[in-house]
Every structure is written in structure tokens, then in C-alpha cells.
Chain A
């Protein structure tokens, strides 16, 4: 039996240009959805859909998702300052979804990563986060690989229906093709709209650079302060070993590997 898979996508943000784009993780969620259920995959986006939609950056991005091979896509009509949870959970329930895939964190807005958890809570479904792959879905259970740092993986099973957030370690989204993207249909759906009250009081500003924390030495004496001030800063130009013996050179490399904890 084909599981009923729904991928949710949002408008991403290019880290360099700040322009709207297909989000990295949502693209992967869509890719994973296509792997699981091919052309049966349903894709939804909650967002603005009004007279300004046509030709907007949002439309361009949604068509980029569609260009991965979708014939159609659902748009749950929401204004930009709405809380999307009621709308999404209403939609997921009405579609009797079994597997819901989304990115770990949105690339724009609050990027809190709370949406999947709130959906899971409101639907009473289990949630697994940072999925690298869904290996199989059988007997009401999915075998899932979770991504851990540095290529490690954890295998878990989770009962259907469930929500999964897709990690950057999941397979890359396929290329989006212009033609199919342009031809895809949007099904706009009216859903309950709830204003996000809390956010209104927030102040947003461009991110301030965070100073990298220096290794602080609490100097208690003048000599120590002097030493701290003159200690060679980390980084800078590297150390070059030329005339030492091969053994010494190898030792230096080894020490660095130990210090960096890549050899244990």
C-alpha cells in the first residue's frame, strides 16, 4: 500500500543574497517525499495567495518546488503574519496524512523549528527530527535513519502517522526544471486563519556579528595579564616545519590530530 505522504514547503532565503529561494531542507523533504510515494506525493504551502501572488517572489519559489516534478501544489491561504499551525493541522487531518515531511528550520522568519513540534502536539502524532532517510514503511511502522553529527546515523522505528523533519544530511533535492514548474497548478484552499499575537511585539533587526569568544584567562597578576596580552592568537599564519626529522614532523601532525580530537 502506498503511504499517504505530504511534504510541506516554505519560502527559503539565500544566505548570501537574502533572496527568496527553494529552502535547502524543504527541498530535501520534498525529495524524500518523492522517493516514498512518487507522483502520489502531496505538497502544501501555507502562505499568501491573493491578487499579488502572480509574478511574486513566492510564486517563483513555489514553482521551483513544483519544477521537481509536481503536477500540482496546494496553497493554504494565510496572511503573512498568521500563525500557520491551525491551518496546517486542519489540512493534514483532513487529508489523513500518514507521513508528514518538513525541514528542520525555516530559512526565513523566526526560524524557530517549532512548527513540526506544534503540529505533532496538536495532532497527537509522534515526531522524529533530523531525518537522513526513511528506509521503509511497512505494517504501520516506518524505519527511519536519523542524522547525527559527522555522518553518524541512528536507526529508529516510528509508528504511523508521524511527522519528520528532514536534515541536511538527507539526499539533495533534485534539480528544479523550468518547464514543469511553470505548468504546475496551484490549488488554493481556504483554511482557518489565526493571527500570531506574540510576534507583533518583537523587534527585528539585522543580525549583529557575535564576537568570537577568546579563551579567557582570568588574570590575577600583572605578569599574567601581560602574558595573556602577548600570547600568540590562535589562527593567523601557520607553522611550517622544514628541517626537523621526519619523525618530529609526523609527531607534530599527530599532536595536532590529538588536540583536535580526531584521533582518540
Chain B
């Protein structure tokens, strides 16, 4: 690989012109790996979009239309990306603590919203001080436990980082984590503690800390400034407006994620945390077979109707996709699927994020059961059926044929997945 980075105006020009005949090949040719700051080859999730003529990054909105998106320019480094302004804090006068969920070691979008909100609060406090003629600077501190895979803490707004990586904090360790945050509280006396009000641990840890400190938190908060906080209450049917407390458990989209600045993500020290008696012992995650997940909780359902004629293939497809199986009543009535798989008015009301309906016409009683599904995919021979009207994506054709192709693609994809679980770029699929 050449280290000399040259701009290629022609390819850049082609990349900017979506109608250019070579556009696709140019885009895809460079959708490759990027050398990360540590020197490892990485896929950089931030490298979506391309650099426009005036050097400003643009996001390709047509992504998802089947065309690959990636960084343009032959250079494999981010040399052409504009460097975002670095938000530097020498000696913070106050702290706002954020304890992100870090699901799978990465910041969730919920975490990023909370970090964004933390900065908004910081700026307001700083401005208030300025109005008083004082100068004061706050730092947003991410309090992180356990494994960390996130590489762009700096871009998410982390000024300071407390990363506790001791064994006692690994996995599910609410008591140890509570001791740690309680100690951090003592050492730094932060202005606020912000937690994502989530099922990933944020709500739990925030509630524990509140109870420990005897402070009344704002829970399910969604509109926050330094004075007042609006919280949802009574199963989200009311808004409670109250003075902003020190501890906040925040809903998603409570703030805007940071996107225009870089931050230092400088480590902050904590004294060794003493974890006394542990009453809760984690025995790890249970192995859950996708097909054993209760239908109502499943996230991804492959559902079979009267239009399935090859049942063996259907079951294989579900296994290959890692999907939970569902069925229409007809498939159940005809004895191909057990009753507890039935989706619909007289079956289960499912909440899957993705629901693939294979050979299901979409009778009203079936539709009732999938009302809460986010993305419905229909595979059906009849383009006029109601399921097609409901679906985000419909493919018209024989279920057997399409499932067969789908299984092939999925198996090929699995073969490409590297041991770390990172996906290789799939640009080649478009090259043909």
C-alpha cells in the first residue's frame, strides 16, 4: 500500500455525480477498510459520505438504495476529512457525570443523546457564570465499566473518561458499580449524574445511586434544562414539570448527540473502589435458541402462511437467518405449525422489529397481531394482497425460490464473517 496520498480529482468528481456511469464502481472500489488511529485495519463507521467540492463532508442520502457508500479518494487514511474542532478543557471547574450503557462495549445512540444533553447543560452553566462575570468550565465525564470497544468516545463528547475495568465490574455487577459511582460522587461532587433510562442497566444504576444518596431523581426525563425538567409519568400519559434535580434518568432523544466537535476523552483517576459484601452473583447469560424465545418478545420473526409448500426449507431458512418462527392461522390449522406459533388476533401479538411474512395474505385478524412490528417484509405471489400494502419491502414471487436464494446469500455471508464478528465489506456483491 502506498503511503503517498494523492487526490484524484476525476474520481472525486465522479463520486460527486451520482448520475455518472462509473459512479457505482468508484464508490464501491473504496468502500474498504481504513487504517485506524492504532494502526489496525478497521471499518470506520464514521466514514459514510464523501467529501464535497468545498471540502465539507456530505452524507450520501441514497444509501440503502442498494448502492454502496464509502469514503472517496484513493487515500486510505482520513487525510481528507476535515478535522473537527477540539473542545479542550484544562482544569474543569465542575463535572457532569454520564454513565453510558455501553451495550456490547459500544455507545448506544441513547448514550450519545445523554452525552449531548450533558454538554448542553454544561454550556448553560458556563454561560450563566459568564453572565455573572465569572469564568467556569465544565467537563462531561463518561463513567464506564468493563469491556470497551468504542473508538470514538472523543466524537461523542467525552471530555474525561473514568474507565473501571476491574473483574468485579464485569458482566452484571450492580452492587460493585454502585460502590464505584458512590465513590466517584464523593471524590468529584459532580453537578449532575446522567443515566440513560434504559433496560440496559442505566435505569438500574441510576436508581441505585439515587436511593443511596437519598436524592429524588427525575425519571423518564425528556426535556431538561438547568432549571426545569419535564418527565413522563403515569405510564407516559402525563408530563411532570419539576425543578431539575441532581440525578436524571433520561429518555432517548433527550438531547442531540455531539457531531461538530471533538473532545479529549482524557482519563480521570478514581481511588480503588472497595466492594464489600456482594449479595448478587452473576452466572452469565443463558443460551437462548431463537426459536425458544417467546414469540411476543422475539425481535426477528420469519412467519409462514398458506403460501409455503416446502416446510423443511422454511425451517432451514429460519435457522439460517437466526429468526424465530411464526405462522398464520391457516398454517396452524393445517397442522404444519404448532398453535403457539400463531400470530394474530387469536394467536400472539408480536413486537418484532423485523417481521418477514412468507406466503401470508394479510387478513385483518393476522394484521392485528403485527400492528407493533417496525419493518414488515412480504414474500408473496400476489402483489395485490394486503400484506404487500403493509410491508416496507415486498418481493413478488414464489416463496420457495426466494427463500432458497436468501439462504444462499446468508450462508455466503456467514462464511465471510470474520471470527471477531466483524463483517467484511460486501462491495463485491454489487460489482457483478
Contact = CB atoms under 8 A, between A and B. Distances in A.
A150 B298 contact: yes
Interface in B369-390: 374-377, 379, 383, 388-390
**Interface of A: prevailing SS:** mixed
Interface stretch (B21-29, B37-45, B131-139, B235-243): B235-243
A55 interface: no
8 contacts: A111-B236, A114-B211, A126-B280, A156-B280, A162-B279, A207-B238, A242-B383, A257-B354
B210 interface: yes
Contact of B210 (A117, A241, A251): A117
Interface in A107-161: 107-114, 117-118, 120-121, 126-130, 145-146, 148-159
B354 A114 contact: no
A155 B286 contact: yes
A106 B238 CA distance: 13
Contact of B293 (A151, A207, A259): A151
A204 B175 contact: no
Contacts of A216: 256
B243 A201 contact: yes
Contact of B237 (A155, A207, A231, A252): A207
Interface stretch (B89-97, B336-344, B405-413): B405-413
B414 to A, nearest CB: 9
Contacts of B300: 257, 260, 262
**Interface of B: prevailing SS:** mixed
A247 B396 CA distance: 12
Given A111-B232, A129-B204, A257-B300, 16 more contacts: A15-B237, A107-B234, A110-B240, A111-B236, A120-B211, A151-B288, A153-B285, A154-B285, A201-B243, A202-B241, A207-B237, A238-B376, A249-B395, A250-B403, A250-B406, A253-B393
A203 B242 contact: yes
Contact of A153 (B238, B240, B281, B286): B286
Given A220-B56, A250-B405, A250-B408, A204 B233 contact: yes
A241 B410 contact: no
Contacts of B220: 111-112
Contacts of A105: 235
